[in-house]
């Protein structure tokens, strides 16, 4: 074992090579571009770490043609998101919590102070401008009933599982921006007259009150879209807001003036995310075409239907991947999709259903928006050597112009390189992965190997200059290691058949893919087979747990929010259909497949030192999975440590706890791969002493 060959070196190895953990976590990130109707300006989000408040803040930035981007909003103790331009391009509406839950705010595109236009008790879900810019439709959750409030007063807090929830519905508000808002003005709430006082004793702003468009307990509203003439709203709705009810989503069309709702698509499975054709004759939508038994891993479909009703027509049937970010412009119907580790822009012909590639560079395109005429696109993209940047391009020649310079943050860092590698798995299945190498990589040297496994399982890894989350990949590269991120069977980007390969074979086939990738790299001659580690979060944590109990190839393993026992997981998770679909049975129908694919089945074979990381309130992979693996490893004498991140669910979403999780992984693998005993610093560094 490693500990016999490499004695522990005490204390001194606390220096972190490369950028600090804090620097990586604090990297600012651009996202969600929204282009002005005339294509001359782009508003986008900027995410940053607020260490003092221990949160990640998102604000809006604005980039006008020919000018440098600048910050547009600042929401104290909250974020500004969801920017949408008014049809005349004069105003930008956005969502922010500035004192009373998330409300719609307006700010002039020319700059100035933002003003709230809603004051809805439960806040705003999503919103859309009407085509003429005089109204905004939005969704909001129903407030808690008086009966429920009285029950809490008498009996305290309790709930009946899967039986108590509040619906979301559509509302409409007239938009009359005030170019000279008084600082104390806020929108009136409830039925208060416009000249009354709000709850804080301040004058109410002279804003119209919202008008309800849908109501009742028959359905809850999801996504929606205005018709081009502004007379109708297409929306999807499901029986209730419970997480697994998304498969009951149907489509209807609302007449805004009369309130009449006409059903459009009603059948089993998901039918939703409506999108109107520019002439208003058709509605495009996403669908599972009635599939409720394998839609977690099968391709989603795209269909169109006459806006007045009729039979759905499938589009793009020959395209073997999921289509996302669909946009129907006067110039055409466009979407984004993976092609292995790349993500390209495509066009979908709404008449023939055929697809064509529009742009394959920059390498990975993540989000996009179009000007009103469809001739100008704003999009978010990155390459193996750049961070995600905002770009603008003409659809005539598609020669992207970079709007942001986020990559400047890492221009002095020795970040190493990343490339796609491939190998055959144990059963012959071709597998790809991303190999990260140090900047001074020498193929004649032997390097420790860290295997970082993505979640999903329909996640995907791709070349990028910086990758981290809770794994200190840049620092491991700087320390002199190589990192492999395998796109194991089930990953996105490789088509429906590949995504289905781990059905009834979870863990088993996944382990084949990981271990065959390790063998491939060892055979290349630059990996030290005695110094290898594996880790992952969520599904990646499950595969790591499976490796812990089924192989002794690794010197150390880290299991992040991982499944240890499929039966334990099935009865505790909030997404029961996921397990039923991938294992094609409940535990009571086929206990053998649950045993075959559960890490705990072979717990007595485990020998690898294993770190376990888990969020205290994780609903997706509930924490009993962590305790079960932890106790099992303890019982058989395998060195293990369980770290519970207090107050968190399935992800570590605050910078300080993410910093802690990075340190925990650095410490664990330093001990077992490098023989170093790392002490995690608690006191702040003496910066003055460091400069002396």
| Span 310-348, pLDDT tens digits | 999 999 999 999 999 999 999 999 999 999 999 999 999
pLDDT category of residue 180 using cuts at 50, 70 and 90: low
- State residue 197's pLDDT score: 40
Of 57, 59, 54, which Cα lies nearest the Cα of 22? 54
The tens digit of pLDDT for each residue in 211-247 reads: 999 999 999 999 999 999 999 999 999 999 999 999 9
- State residue 200's pLDDT score: 45
pLDDT category of residue 178 using cuts at 50, 70 and 90: confident
Q: Taking a C-beta distance cutoff of 8 angstroms, is the pair 455, 651 a contact?
A: no
HSE-CB at 493 with a 13 A cutoff on CA atoms is 22
Of 107, 13, 25, 9, which Cα lies nearest the Cα of 409? 25
pLDDT category of residue 611 using cuts at 50, 70 and 90: very high
Of 525, 514, 614, 603, which Cα lies nearest the Cα of 554? 514
Q: Which domains does the chain have, with CATH numbers?
A: 2-19+413-673 (3.40.50.1820)
pTM: 0.93
pLDDT category of residue 15 using cuts at 50, 70 and 90: confident
The tens digit of pLDDT for each residue in 386-439 reads: 999 999 999 999 999 999 999 999 999 999 999 999 999 999 999 999 999 999
Please tell me what DSSP assigns to residue 585: S
β-bridge mates for residue 604, sequence order: none
Q: Positive or negative CA dihedral for 124, 378, 49, 416?
A: positive
Q: Taking a C-beta distance cutoff of 8 angstroms, is the pair 350, 334 a contact?
A: no
- State residue 93's pLDDT score: 98
Listed as own residue / partner, the contacts of 374-379 with beta carbons closer than 8 Å and 24 or more positions apart are: 374/329, 374/330, 374/331, 374/332, 375/39, 375/331, 376/35, 376/39, 377/35, 378/33, 378/34, 378/35, 378/42, 378/44, 378/403, 379/33, 379/345
- State residue 468's pLDDT score: 87
pLDDT averaged over the chain? 93
In a 3-state reduction of DSSP, which class is residue 23? helix
In a 3-state reduction of DSSP, which class is residue 193? coil
Phi, psi of 493 (to 5 degrees): 100, -15
What the block records as the tokens of 552 is 């002794």
In this predicted structure, which of 9-13, 126-130, 447-451, 479-483 has the lowest mean pLDDT? 9-13
Question: How far, rounded to the nearest angstrom, does the alpha carbon of residue 618 sit from its chain's CA centroid?
Answer: 16
CA distance 398 to 689: 52
The total of other beta-carbon atoms located within 10 Å of residue 426's CB is 14
- State residue 56's pLDDT score: 97
* Average pLDDT over every residue of 507-522: 98
């Amino acid at each position: 074992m490693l500990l016999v060959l490499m004695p522990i070196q005490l204390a001194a190895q606390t220096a972190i090579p490369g950028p600090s953990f804090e620097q990586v976590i604090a990297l600012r990130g651009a996202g969600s571009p929204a282009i002005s109707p005339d294509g001359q300006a782009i508003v986008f989000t900027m995410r940053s770490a607020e260490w003092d408040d221990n949160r990640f803040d998102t604000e809006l930035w604005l980039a006008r043609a020919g000018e440098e981007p600048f910050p547009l909003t600042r929401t104290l103790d909250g974020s500004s998101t969801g920017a949408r331009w008014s049809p005349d391009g004069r105003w930008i509406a956005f969502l922010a919590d500035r004192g009373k839950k998330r409300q719609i705010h307006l700010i002039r595109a020319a700059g100035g102070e933002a003003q709230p236009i809603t004051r809805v008790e439960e806040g705003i879900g999503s919103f859309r401008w009407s085509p003429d810019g005089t109204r905004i439709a939005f969704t909001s959750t129903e407030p808690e009933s008086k009966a429920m409030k009285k029950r809490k007063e008498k009996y305290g807090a309790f709930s009946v599982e899967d039986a108590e929830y509040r619906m979301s519905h559509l509302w409409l508000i007239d938009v009359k921006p005030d170019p000279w808002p008084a600082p104390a003005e806020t929108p009136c709430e409830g039925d208060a007259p416009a000249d009354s006082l709000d709850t804080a004793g301040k004058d109410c702003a002279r804003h119209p009150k919202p008008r309800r468009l849908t109501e009742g307990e028959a359905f809850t509203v999801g996504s929606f879209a205005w018709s081009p003439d502004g007379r109708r709203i297409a929306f999807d709705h499901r029986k209730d807001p419970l997480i697994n009810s998304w498969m009951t989503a149907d489509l209807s069309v609302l007449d805004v003036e009369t309130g009449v709702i006409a059903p459009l698509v009603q059948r089993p499975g998901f039918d939703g995310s409506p999108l109107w054709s520019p002439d208003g004759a058709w509605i495009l939508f996403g669908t599972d075409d009635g599939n409720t038994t394998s839609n977690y891993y099968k391709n989603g479909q795209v269909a169109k239907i006459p806006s007045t009703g009729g039979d759905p027509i499938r589009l793009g049937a020959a395209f073997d991947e999921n289509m996302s970010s669909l946009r129907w412009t006067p110039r055409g119907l466009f979407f984004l999709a993976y092609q292995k580790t790349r993500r390209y822009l495509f066009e979908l012909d709404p008449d023939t259903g055929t697809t064509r590639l529009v742009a394959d560079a920059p390498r990975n395109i993540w989000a996009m928006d179009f000007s009103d005429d469809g001739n100008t696109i704003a999009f978010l993209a990155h390459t193996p050597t750049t961070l995600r940047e905002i770009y603008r391009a003409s659809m005539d020649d598609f020669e992207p112009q970079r709007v942001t310079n986020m990559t400047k943050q890492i221009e002095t860092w020795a970040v190493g390189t990343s490339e796609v590698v491939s190998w055959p798995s144990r059963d012959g299945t071709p597998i790809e992965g991303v190999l990260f190498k140090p900047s001074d990589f020498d193929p004649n040297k032997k390097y420790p190997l860290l295997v970082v496994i993505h979640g999903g399982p329909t996640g995907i890894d791709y070349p990028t200059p910086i990758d981290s989350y809770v794994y200190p990949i840049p620092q491991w590269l700087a320390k002199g290691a190589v990192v492999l991120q395998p796109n194991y069977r089930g990953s996105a980007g490789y088509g429906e058949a590949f995504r289905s390969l781990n059905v009834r074979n979870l863990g088993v086939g996944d382990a084949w893919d990981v271990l065959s990738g390790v063998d491939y790299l060892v055979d290349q001659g630059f990996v030290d087979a005695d110094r290898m580690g594996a880790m992952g979060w969520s599904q990646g944590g499950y595969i790591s747990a499976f490796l812990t109990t089924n192989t002794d190839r690794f010197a150390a393993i880290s299991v992040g929010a991982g499944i240890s026992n499929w039966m334990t997981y099935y009865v505790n998770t909030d997404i029961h259909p996921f397990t039923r679909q991938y294992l094609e049975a409940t535990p009571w129908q086929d206990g053998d497949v649950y045993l075959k694919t559960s890490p705990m089945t072979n717990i007595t074979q485990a020998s690898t030192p294993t770190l376990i990381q888990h969020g205290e309130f994780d609903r997706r992979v509930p924490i009993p999975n962590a305790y079960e693996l932890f106790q099992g490893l303890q019982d058989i004498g395998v060195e293990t440590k369980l770290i519970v991140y207090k107050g968190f669910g399935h992800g570590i979403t605050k910078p300080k706890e993410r910093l802690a999780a990075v340190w925990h992984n650095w410490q664990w693998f330093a001990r077992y791969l490098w023989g170093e005993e790392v002490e995690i610093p608690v006191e702040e560094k003496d910066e003055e002493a460091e400069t002396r």
